[in-house]
A = this chain, B = another copy of it.
Amino acid sequence: MKPPNEQDPKLRILHAATALFSQKGYDATGVNEIAKKAKVNKALIYYYFENKEAILGSLIDSLMSSVYAITLAFANDCIDVMAEDGSLVVEEGAFFFASHKAMEGFTTKLHAYYKEVVDYTLDNRAIVRILMFESLKGGKHQSSLFRFMELMEKKPDNPLYKTLGIGQQDFNYHEATVFYEFFFSIIPLVSIAAYYDEYQAKSHLSDERLREFALRSYMAHAETNSLRKLFVTES
């Protein structure tokens, strides 16, 4: 996950910080430790980052923007394109496809999206762990985890929402649904990543099986409780 002999000191710092923050937590990690692990002079850290907090901010920002990017890419590359060529119509929170083939194409891409999300989350589980950590504390990053939730909410500043361009106010996301989605879908996904290594140590399961479990559980859950109904309008 981390090349042994990295060149860029800034990257070395970020990698060292990621490892340490995710193992011992932000507060229990000293700048000295980061410097030692990154094989970098302590003062150099302050050349690249304004303070210790900025390192954490940098890590969390990069995670957040990656997740946003993945979600937006799916919305753009899949939904928008299909909406433009008329093979998909989104209405009142439901998806109407022009043909079975269109729906199959959508489903395939949706599954690929699920896999990408799970993979990305697991690959970057150290930062995910840090994110969970910080979202449990009061402070600047407390709300980070909730921003994932916002991806599902019907708010004007939600880029996914914007992309879909759905305007109905009677969107069927109501409070209970959001609650359920957050605690039984997002939280498990994030937790699987955060507790991955510990769970593996306890269960002695292989990486392959664990990833399979994670993907299947997540997909099963998403499908069962899917808020969006898919229909084919083709006669």
Contact = CB atoms under 8 A, between A and B. Distances in A.
A137 B184 contact: no
Interface of A: 23-25, 27-28, 129, 132-133, 135-139, 142-143, 145-146, 175-176, 178-180, 182-184, 187-188, 191-192, 194-195, 198-199, 202-203, 205, 209-210, 213, 216-217, 221
* Total copies of this chain within the assembly: 4
Q: Which 8 A-B pairs have the closest CB atoms?
A: A27-B27, A27-B28, A183-B188, A187-B191, A179-B213, A25-B137, A23-B138, A184-B188
A104 to B, nearest CB: 27
A145 B205 CA distance: 18
Q: Main SS of chain A's interface residues?
A: helix
A179 B136 contact: no
A118 to B, nearest CB: 12
A194 B194 CA distance: 15
Nearest to A28: B27
